[in-house]
Amino acid sequence: MVRSKKKAGQRPVTRRLIQRARRWLLWGLAIIVCLPLVLTLAYRFLPPPITPLMVIRVMEGKGLEKDWVRWPEISPNLRRAAVAAEDNLFCEHRGFDWGSLEVAVRSYADGKRAGGGSTISMQTAKNLFLWPKRSVVRKVLEVPLTATLELLWPKQRIMEVYLNIAEWGPGVYGAEAAAQAHFGVSADKLSLRQASQLAAVLPNPLNWSAGKPGNHVTSRAATIRKRIRQLGPMLDCVTE
């Protein structure tokens, strides 16, 4: 009888613990789902104060230099160069370049380096909300975040935020800080050559320099300038 009473007394406690765990789980899921949506709506109009990458770099001792500038204060040369370097179909797709993604997935399945497939919209979502280290989990999370950006933001806002939070050197973020650090000019005064050199280092800004480019960066920048001429009207959404 004593043993039965103990069991009877334990059941309500166990049930309460399970119910409490369920509530916390539901609250956690609600926060995970709702917080990015709320921030996406806020960042449609407000500058993001900081990103996960910036926090990580500060913890690594790289400092933090950034200065938000509005769309008209970013040189059209840099806007066009970013598209030519990172995402030729930016003005035409709705967040995903399915052809490039398919190639990247096949490469990953074959055990090869899965480069490419990441659009500017996907990079913006990643930089705003996620961590820099590549992983399957991060790629999966990028999909709904990117879709939300494309649904709630115009293309100009996606590019504006992208160019304001992109990493352009140790502790250097955004077009204005990059233009000042590498060329001693403001973001709206960037020449085509300077803009192409900035765009050329986007894949590896900690090891490549836009202001003091080596042969590889110089060659990439020349290719970007050539591609800008070839893309023509495909750059209209970032030229206006």
The residue to which tokens 């910036």 are assigned: 54
If asked whether residues 23 and 69 sit together in one domain, one would say no
Instruction: Read off the tokens for 60.
Output: 């690594």
Residue 232 lies in a domain: yes
Q: Calculate the average pLDDT of the chain.
A: 87
- Tens of pLDDT, residue by residue over 74-107, are 999 999 999 999 999 999 999 988 776 666 556 5
Residue 63 lies in a domain: yes
Residue 158 lies in a domain: yes
Handedness of CA 201, 205, 207, 210 (dihedral sign): positive
Q: pLDDT value at position 105? A: 58
The CATH number assigned to the domain holding 192 equals 1.10.3810.10
Beta-carbon contacts of 102 under 8 Å, excluding residues fewer than 6 positions away, are 117
* Cβ pair 119, 83 in contact under 8 A: no
CB atoms within 10 A of CB 84: 24
User: What's at 88, amino acid-wise?
Assistant: N
If asked whether residues 175 and 83 sit together in one domain, one would say yes
Q: pLDDT value at position 34? A: 78
CA atoms lying within 13 Å on the CB side of residue 221: 23
User: Is the predicted pLDDT of residue 13 greater than 80, yes or no?
Assistant: no
What is the C-alpha to C-alpha distance for residues 205 and 220, in angstroms, rounded to an integer?
Answer: 13
If asked whether residues 31 and 128 sit together in one domain, one would say no
If asked whether residues 146 and 181 sit together in one domain, one would say yes
Q: pLDDT value at position 25? A: 60
- Tens of pLDDT, residue by residue over 102-152, are 665 565 555 555 555 789 999 999 999 999 888 888 888 899 999 999 999
Burial of 2 (0-12, 13-18, 19+ CB in 10 A): exposed
Average pLDDT over residues 64-77: 97
If asked whether residues 68 and 10 sit together in one domain, one would say no
User: What's at 58, amino acid-wise?
Assistant: V
- Tens of pLDDT, residue by residue over 186-225, are 999 999 999 999 999 999 999 999 999 999 999 999 999 9
If asked whether residues 86 and 200 sit together in one domain, one would say yes
Q: pLDDT value at position 24? A: 65
Beta-carbon contacts of 211 under 8 Å, excluding residues fewer than 6 positions away, are 181, 182, 183, 197
Q: Give the number of domains in the chain.
A: 2
If asked whether residues 33 and 135 sit together in one domain, one would say no
Residue 187 lies in a domain: yes
If asked whether residues 14 and 34 sit together in one domain, one would say yes
Residue 112 lies in a domain: no
If asked whether residues 38 and 128 sit together in one domain, one would say no
pTM of the model: 0.84
Q: pLDDT value at position 1? A: 47
Q: pLDDT value at position 233? A: 95
Q: pLDDT value at position 16? A: 72
Residue 152 lies in a domain: yes
If asked whether residues 141 and 200 sit together in one domain, one would say yes
Q: pLDDT value at position 123? A: 96
If asked whether residues 57 and 165 sit together in one domain, one would say yes
| Cα–Cα distance list, 206 to 25, 57, 122, 134, 150 (Å) | 39, 11, 21, 16, 29
Q: Which domain holds residue 129?
A: 50-95+121-239
Residue 180 lies in a domain: yes
Residue 114 lies in a domain: no
* Cβ pair 161, 48 in contact under 8 A: yes
Average pLDDT over residues 180-188: 97
Q: pLDDT value at position 110? A: 53
Please give the full DSSP string across 65-131, using - where no structure is assigned: EE----GGGS-HHHHHHHHHHH-TTTTTSSS--HHHHHHHHHHHHTTS-------HHHHHHHHHHS-
If asked whether residues 62 and 133 sit together in one domain, one would say yes
Q: Please give the DSSP secondary-structure letter assigned to residue 173.
A: E
Average pLDDT over residues 42-69: 95
- Tens of pLDDT, residue by residue over 157-175, are 999 999 999 999 999 999 9
